[in-house]
Amino acid sequence: MKNRLKVERAIMNLTQAQLAELIGVSRQTINAIEKGKYVPSTVLALKMGRVFGKPVEEFFFLDDEDVK
C-alpha cells in the first residue's frame, strides 16, 4: 500500500509529531506509515481522514502488488 501522508501533512503544515498527537500515536508510527513500513489499522486511517478532512482513499491507495 502506498500513501500521500507526507504530502497531506505538508498541505496542513503539520509535523509528524503534531499529527501523531492529534490521532493518538507516536511520531515513530507516523514515520513508519509514511515510509510504507507499517500499514495503519482502519481506525487509525479514519482518524487521519478526519484530521485531513478527506476520505481515506485520497491519501492511501493500493499499488500493483496489493491488487494481485
Q: Please state the separation of Cα 61 from the chain's center in Å.
A: 11
- pTM of the predicted model, to two decimals? 0.89
Query: What fold, for 2-59?
Result: 434 Repressor (Amino-terminal Domain) (1.10.260)
- Where along the chain do its domains lie? 2-59
What is the model's pLDDT at position 2? 92
Q: Report d(CA 60, CA 68) in Å as an integer.
A: 17
What is the model's pLDDT at position 34? 97
Size (the chain), residues: 68
The pLDDT profile of the chain, 68 residues, written as one tens digit per residue, is: 899 999 999 999 999 999 999 999 999 999 999 999 999 999 999 999 999 999 999 999 988 777 76
